[in-house]
């Protein structure tokens, strides 16, 4: 069984999408751990309801050591780490130990509206303020650069003149749920090849 750890910071709707996909046998996997950097993240309750092991490494308490604590827990125990609305930055040895085994879902079409301090509603506010006609979401590998890893999948979402950041966020989030499941499935089925920093999906 393919084993996953999911890192969260907020409500956990992307976590729920993964849980549902496993329960409906769309993903041949199990979630071994849900780890948060916030004690009050609702995502933890979603995990507890499914009897998934939960842990909290508060960034304010652990600082830069939080990545090392996560590595201590996960090393040798999971095949993939999924950042699903996780707002802290992973750094240090975990990036080497889990090279090309950590993915993130970002609420824009990278390289637009990404990088340091671009997360959550801020991304959608930037898209609205820029007046773009299209936004979307991206699943990518995690490396030492914020939102800088190889892009696995992207999904385009229309941006309408009447949109505000919240309506755009809602529309993008619906696509995030689908895209994240699709990316995980490709990884489980070993259909991803990384060539010179680019992803090729095997047929």
In which domain, by residue range, is 169 found? 106-203
9 & 88 share domain: yes
Residue 60: predicted pLDDT: 83
| Same domain for 162 and 121 | yes
Q: What pLDDT is attached to residue 203?
A: 87
Q: Which two tokens stand for residue 55?
A: 């842990």
Q: Are residues 22 and 79 in the same domain?
A: yes
For residues 108-112, give the mean pLDDT: 98
Residue 13 is labelled as binding a ligand: yes
Provide the CATH number for the domain around residue 24: 3.40.50.170
pLDDT, one tens digit per residue, over 118-166 is: 999 999 999 999 999 999 999 999 999 999 999 999 999 999 999 999 9
| pLDDT given for residue 28 in this prediction | 98
Instruction: Tell me the per-residue pLDDT of 43-96, one tens digit each, with 9 for 90 and over.
Output: 999 999 999 999 999 988 887 799 999 999 999 999 999 999 999 999 999 999
Q: Judge whether 127 and 167 are in contact, CB under 8 Å.
A: no
CA atoms within 13 A on the CB side of 168: 29
Residue 9 assigned ligand-binding role: no
Q: Name the 3-class secondary structure at 36.
A: strand
Residues serving a catalytic function are 106
**Number of domains forming the structure of the chain:** 2
Q: Has 100 been labeled as part of a binding site?
A: no
112 and 67: one domain? no
| pLDDT for position 64 | 78
Structure tokens at 150: 């190889």
Q: What's the pLDDT score for residue 51? A: 98
Please tell me whether residues 110 and 94 are part of one structural domain.
no
Count of Cβ atoms closer than 10 Å to residue 19 Cβ: 20
| Torsion sign, CA atoms 187, 53, 46, 113 | negative
User: Is residue 60 domain-shared with residue 115, that is, in the same domain?
Assistant: no
Q: Are residues 72 and 128 in the same domain?
A: no
pLDDT digits (tens, 9 = 90+) for 163-195: 999 999 999 999 999 999 999 999 999 999 999
DSSP for 100-118?
Answer: T-EEEEESS-TTTT-STT-
Was 133 annotated as part of a binding site?
A: no
pLDDT for res 62: 86
Are residues 70 and 7 in contact, defined by beta-carbon separation less than 8 angstroms? yes
């Amino acid at each position: 069984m393919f084993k996953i750890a999911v890192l969260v910071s907020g409500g956990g709707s992307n976590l729920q999408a993964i849980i549902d996909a496993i329960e409906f046998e769309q993903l041949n996997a199990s979630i071994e751990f849900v780890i948060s950097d916030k004690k009050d993240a609702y995502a933890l309750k979603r995990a507890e309801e499914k009897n998934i092991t939960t842990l909290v490494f508060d960034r304010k308490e652990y600082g830069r050591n939080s990545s090392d604590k996560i590595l201590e827990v996960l090393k040798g125990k999971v095949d993939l780490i999924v950042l699903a609305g996780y707002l802290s930055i992973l750094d240090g040895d975990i990036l080497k130990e889990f090279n090309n085994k950590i993915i993130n879902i970002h609420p824009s079409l990278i390289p637009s509206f990404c990088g340091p301090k671009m997360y959550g509603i801020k991304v959608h506010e930037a898209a609205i303020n820029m007046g773009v006609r299209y936004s979307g979401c991206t699943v990518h590998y995690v490396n030492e650069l914020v939102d800088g890893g190889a892009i696995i999948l992207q999904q385009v979402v229309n941006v309408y003149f009447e949109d505000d950041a919240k309506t755009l966020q809602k529309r993008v989030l619906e696509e995030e749920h689908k895209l994240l499941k699709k990316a995980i499935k490709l990884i489980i089925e070993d259909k991803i090849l990384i060539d010179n920093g680019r992803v090729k999906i095997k047929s």
